[in-house]
Amino acid sequence: LQAEMSCLPRRGKQVPSTPRPFRSTKSASKARRDQINAELQALRSLLPISAREKERLSYLHTMALVCLQLRGAQLFPPDLALPAGLALGTDLLSLLPGFLLVLSASGKLVYISENVTQVLGLSVVELLAQGDTVFDILDGQAHEDVRKQLLLAQEEPGREVTFVGEMHTSKAFRLQHGGNRAVAVHGRFAALSQPASSTTMVFLALCTLVARLPTDGDAGSQDDLFQSTHILDMTFIDVTE
């Protein structure tokens, strides 16, 4: 085309033509949407959940689960031994007094054991709909204390910390228990040796139910609760006044 144009007689000063902006057509937009949907369906088919759960997944839930699986695969590759407890089967998980939780150093959710349903009334999929950090599944009043405790545990790896906060639950649980459930998160940071000779820190925790926290409108107060510390034979080390 350029060769043909060069053979044409020139009439005065030529003004260089500007390229026309690309305009998406309805057919092109539909083709892109169909391609995105096909890729999401492919990702959904690879998720290690039941076929019934896959059918109920929205696109947002699909991407949230994919992100959780990718974070877990990065921290726990197939050739890396899992920390004690993460390889428990369903039967053994049901015997725990709570559910297992693994967080990245920034508080991102890496692993949630399936028995979380027994504690919060929400499946792992439904819990991820709240967000992908521990702060998304906790009541806002606990956020500052959780940040402090995670920072403290990160500064001293191996030191066990505990924080208590209300976690979001299903509607049925809220009607039954009069609100969200108060959960004690007890855990510590542990170092994972990666194949590339680098070390990554993750927070490993057991989450158990505690008595319902009093609200500002309750007749009782924080005096209704006390906290104690024991050694393994349950001998008292400390107790609040």
Whether 92 contacts 104, CB under 8 Å? no
Q: Who's near 48: CB < 8 A, 6+ residues apart?
A: 69
pLDDT at 201: 84
CA-nearest of 160, 164, 117 to 145 is 164
Task: Determine the Cα–Cα distance for residues 31 and 24; give it in Å rounded to an integer.
Answer: 11
Question: pLDDT digit of tens for each residue in the chain (241 aa)?
Answer: 444 445 445 555 555 566 665 566 788 888 888 898 888 888 888 887 778 878 878 888 888 888 888 887 777 766 655 555 455 566 677 777 889 999 988 888 888 888 898 889 888 888 887 888 899 989 888 898 889 888 988 888 888 899 888 898 888 888 887 778 889 999 999 887 655 545 678 899 999 988 655 555 454 444 567 788 898 899 999 988 8
Say if strands 161-167 and 181-193 run parallel, antiparallel, or are unpaired.
antiparallel
Task: Determine the Cα–Cα distance for residues 168 and 136; give it in Å rounded to an integer.
Answer: 9
Alpha-carbon Rg for the chain in angstroms: 27
Query: Which of left, alpha, beta for 164 (phi over 0: left; psi -120 to 50: alpha)?
Result: beta
Domains of the chain from N-terminus onward: 48-77+94-209 (3.30.450.20)
CB atoms within 10 A of CB 225: 15
C-alpha angle 84-77-43 in degrees, rounded to nearest 5: 115
Please report, to the nearest 10 degrees, the dihedral formed by the alpha carbons of residues 192, 161, 96, 193 taken in order.
0
CA-nearest of 102, 124, 127 to 115 is 124
Task: Determine the Cα–Cα distance for residues 178 and 110; give it in Å rounded to an integer.
Answer: 29
pTM of the predicted model as reported, rounded to 2 decimal places: 0.64
pLDDT at 78: 63
- 84 class by beta-carbon count within 10 Å (0-12 exposed, 13-18 middle, 19+ buried): exposed
The structure tokens 């083709």 sit at 31
Q: Who's near 113: CB < 8 A, 6+ residues apart?
A: 88, 93, 96, 99, 100, 101
Task: Determine the Cα–Cα distance for residues 156 and 144; give it in Å rounded to an integer.
Answer: 19
Residue spans of alpha helices (H) in 76-131 = 90-93, 116-120, 124-128
